[in-house]
Structure 1
Amino acid sequence: MPKFVMDKIEFLQLLEKYNAGLANAEEIAFLNAYYDLFDQEEDGFAQINSTQKNVLKNEIAEEIKSQISVLAQEEIKSLPLFVKYKWLAIAAVLVLISSLTILFFNNESPKEQIVIANPKPVKNTIVPGSNNAVLTLANGNQISLNDKENGVLASQSGVIITKNKDGQLQYQIKANAPAGINTISTPRGGQYQLILVDGTKVWLNAASSITFPTQFKGAERKVEIVGEAYFEVAKNANKPFKVKSKNQIIEVLGTHFNVNTYDDEAADKTTLLEGSVSVSKIANGKVQTATSKILKPGQQATVNANQSQILVAIADEDEAIAWKNGYFKFNKADIQTIMRQVSRWYNVDVEFKGEMNKDLFVGKINRSEHVEEVLSILERSKINVAIKGRTIIISN
């Protein structure tokens, strides 16, 4: 595909050409890509008025249906999106995965420009993570979960541990079985799912662990986590479910929420999707009940070890559970935040050289892509990227 560079006037001329039925397949593909960005980042499209925007959205929506065969021949499909913010300027990058075509907005120059270019070929040397974990039983024995077939994996003191047809670890308890403590740990480049004995479903992200009893006796159901996990807690009004991490404890009766407690992140974040949870800060090994906050669906609690209060704000739910749904999503994230996620999922080290890049990014991309595909987005944003073995070097 040739490279397009155009200012506002040229873009409107292309729009008129399209409306007149004179646009070629490449120009239609360009407008398709632009159309896909409308609802993702409104600020990036101040250069056209609402009437023109609606014309483009409505007409291209119809044209997409009639141009499928043409676009297939051009090998153009949609589309993860990355948007780059620089100070008050906005740059947007749209990656069309199949052809690796990128749409780039840059309002830093006196002329507003739109650029489409082709990135470098993907080398496919570093593959994404997969279902991979280690189960540590109460007796200390360890079971590797990445290569186990479905069926019974272990039986301990009346507790039967199986791997079901969906690849989830599941616990079943015989009557009067004693409770033991188990731990499931994922490495960098791993993830796993399990169902606790009470029916609670847990998704573990990379470089994470959950420690739990094989059955919940007493007045509560309590687990401990490191890293990141998503919970769908089975309802039990008589036995609250508690999730403990280094800096906080979360109490629920039955709900869906995500907890991010990685040590290399600035704070612990709990995002509520359904139900209600109470979040309390832990300091010096003690629960600070005076700090407790009750979350409503759509809210996120931030616990910082260096701050006395818990902050509650509106959450980006899709961003919080993107990893669980199989993709990366960033909402004005800096390069360090992006690369921490890349490091965990692709099991790579990251090295920064020179002045730290201050750009912010918005967008998403499938976690099944090879790491070079993710990095090509950064390269199109004028960030220098090099791979040496399993180390990614970022420089300006």
Structure 2
Amino acid sequence: MQDNKPPKETTKFLQHSSNQEENAQVLFWYDQLGFNTENSDEIADQITFSAKERLMQQLILDKKRRTFRLWSRITAAAAILLVGFFAWKTNYSPQSTLKDATDAQLAAVKPAKEHAIITLETGEEIDLDQLAINESIQIGEIKIIKNSKGEVSYINSKTGEAQMNTIRVPKASIYSLTLSDGSKVTLNAESKLTYPSAFAGKDRTVKLEGEGYFDVKHTSTDSRFIVETQKQEIEVLGTKFNIKTFQKEENSYTTLASGSVRVKSNVQDNLQILKPGQQARTDNGGKLTVKNADLEKVLGWTNGQFVFDGENNGETFEEISRWYDVDISYQRNSKNIEYVGKIPRNLTLDKLIELMSYAGLEVDANIDHHNRIKLQIK
């Protein structure tokens, strides 16, 4: 391990009694501290920049101005910044604050539960856990209702007009809802759906961010059901399909379980009609491609399973991260990338880690100074 103690020349440097060679020793020590910008936070970056800027100013001013008062100010500022930075480096480095997570801490992390937050047109958010079955609440002119099936809608109590609903499902959560036309949508963790409390006009249009499984109701008017995402537009009549479109991920996927859908890229003039078992992928450039899909892998989350297929296990690790709201990093190797198997989603985190260990996946569980759990899969 590198010795991070300041060199003996630092004292002379701050007292303005060092020569050029000794100045160089101090700056060399500073540059070799091994500061990790990838894992640092904003305040650490600011301290680093400010400290180095002050040190460089001291060297420049040493050549131009040697007044005692000016050097006293710079010396004090440089000393404070050096001490402050060294204290941060010693006490607040992300690596130094990580501790082993206990079994009790891991067991306390439960799998995702039925939970969502509704956003009004005013921007106000309402936690749906606060709303009981067959109960309604009044927020200004908006009346929010949860019926006997747990379905939520809201209307303008003065005009009776339908309102635009936005349902947000946070991490470690899942939520199912039925739209006004009878179509059913299950939203995965860290997902959001915007939809009207009642469909009007020819088209039934909703907007999705994240991941959702749709079971679209066929209507007597044969109106089009349209799902808009950042990269795709999906048009259906009556079908079951899955859409995965997380903003942090490069690709958006539409996978057809039954029926027929038409997928269009929002960037390129490209349109594909899917058959059951096919998947349309759109990348950041808008390129749309179609291939056969592993439905068991794609729909595993709707069936209560984490599915490792030996090809896209990195995506499964991301699913685990969202499902339990923990941070996960992994080293790509043959054990964790090529593992094939299934693990139930209804486990507490300690049991999940135990099963992953049985499967040959080595997992280190730590907790940081914010009490946030971090898993490293080796």
Same fold (TM over 0.5): yes
Which of 117, 121, 126 does residue 134 from structure 1 map onto? 117
Gaps of 5+ in 2: 1-102
The one-letter code of the counterpart of 2:309 is N
Structure 2 partner of 1:248: 232
Please state whether the residue corresponding to 1:254 is helix, strand or coil.
coil
Structure 1 partner of 2:332: 356
- The answer (yes or no) to whether the contact 2:326–2:375 under 8 Å persists in 1 is no
Q: Structure 1 residue 124 and structure 2 residue 107: aligned? A: yes
The one-letter code of the counterpart of 1:339 is F
Alignment of 1:2-151 (within 5 A): 124-151=107-134
Q: Paired residues, what number?
A: 268
- The answer (yes or no) to whether the contact 1:205–1:228 under 8 Å persists in 2 is yes
Please state whether the residue corresponding to 1:323 is helix, strand or coil.
helix
Which of 290, 294, 303 does residue 273 from structure 2 map onto? 294
Structure 2 partner of 1:13: none
- The answer (yes or no) to whether the contact 1:191–1:205 under 8 Å persists in 2 is yes
What displacement does 1:296 show?
1.3
Structure 1 partner of 2:344: 366
Deviations 1:7-55 (A, max 9, x none): xxxxxxxxxxxxxxxxxxxxxxxxxxxxxxxxxxxxxxxxxxxxxxxxx
Q: Structure 1 residue 281 and structure 2 residue 265: aligned? A: yes
Distance 2:184 2:156 in 1: 16
Structure 1 partner of 2:362: 384
What displacement does 1:319 show?
2.1
Distance 1:382 1:323 in 2: 22
Higher strand share: 1
Task: Indicate how the Cα distance of structure 1 residues 141 and 172 shifts in structure 2: closer, same or farther if over 3 A, else same.
Answer: closer
Q: Structure 1 residue 344 and structure 2 residue 322: aligned? A: yes
TM-score normalised according to structure 1 size? 0.61
The one-letter code of the counterpart of 2:365 is I
Distance 2:165 2:230 in 1: 18
Which one is further off, 189-198 or 140-149?
140-149
RMSD over equivalenced CA pairs, Å: 2.9
Higher helix share: 2
Distance 2:184 2:147 in 1: 13
- The answer (yes or no) to whether the contact 1:172–1:197 under 8 Å persists in 2 is no
Q: Structure 1 residue 271 and structure 2 residue 247: aligned? A: no
Structure 2 partner of 1:393: 375
Q: Report sequence identity in percent.
A: 34
Deviations 1:322-353 (A, max 9, x none): 2122222232244422220111000111234x
The one-letter code of the counterpart of 1:194 is L
The one-letter code of the counterpart of 1:347 is D
Distance 2:156 2:214 in 1: 21
Deviations 1:149-201 (A, max 9, x none): 21133479999754344544357999x84232110001100111111111111
Distance 1:384 1:136 in 2: 40
Task: Indicate how the Cα distance of structure 1 residues 177 and 395 shifts in structure 2: closer, same or farther if over 3 A, else same.
Answer: closer
Distance 2:140 2:180 in 1: 14
What displacement does 1:376 show?
2.6
Distance 2:317 2:360 in 1: 16
What displacement does 1:128 show?
0.8
What displacement does 1:219 show?
2.3
Please state whether the residue corresponding to 1:211 is helix, strand or coil.
strand
* Higher relative contact order structure (alpha carbons within 8 Å, sequence separation ≥ 6): 1
Structure 2 partner of 1:317: 295
What displacement does 1:264 show?
2.9
Structure 2 partner of 1:25: none
Distance 1:319 1:280 in 2: 23
Structure 2 partner of 1:58: none
- The answer (yes or no) to whether the contact 1:153–1:162 under 8 Å persists in 2 is yes
Please state whether the residue corresponding to 2:296 is helix, strand or coil.
helix
The one-letter code of the counterpart of 1:182 is N
The one-letter code of the counterpart of 2:110 is V
Task: Indicate how the Cα distance of structure 1 residues 382 and 242 shifts in structure 2: closer, same or farther if over 3 A, else same.
Answer: same
Structure 1 partner of 2:245: 261
What displacement does 1:382 show?
4.4
The one-letter code of the counterpart of 1:295 is L
Distance 1:193 1:261 in 2: 18
Which of 208, 219, 227 does residue 191 from structure 2 map onto? 208
- The answer (yes or no) to whether the contact 1:134–1:145 under 8 Å persists in 2 is yes
The one-letter code of the counterpart of 2:280 is A
Distance 1:177 1:314 in 2: 46
Gaps of 5+ in 1: 1-120
Distance 1:258 1:372 in 2: 30
Q: Which has the larger radius of gyration?
A: 2
The one-letter code of the counterpart of 1:232 is D
Structure 2 partner of 1:71: none
Distance 1:304 1:341 in 2: 19
The one-letter code of the counterpart of 2:333 is N
TM-score normalised according to structure 2 size? 0.63
Distance 1:392 1:335 in 2: 18
Structure 1 partner of 2:214: 231
The one-letter code of the counterpart of 1:227 is G
- The answer (yes or no) to whether the contact 1:157–1:178 under 8 Å persists in 2 is no
Please state whether the residue corresponding to 1:246 is helix, strand or coil.
coil
Please state whether the residue corresponding to 1:324 is helix, strand or coil.
helix
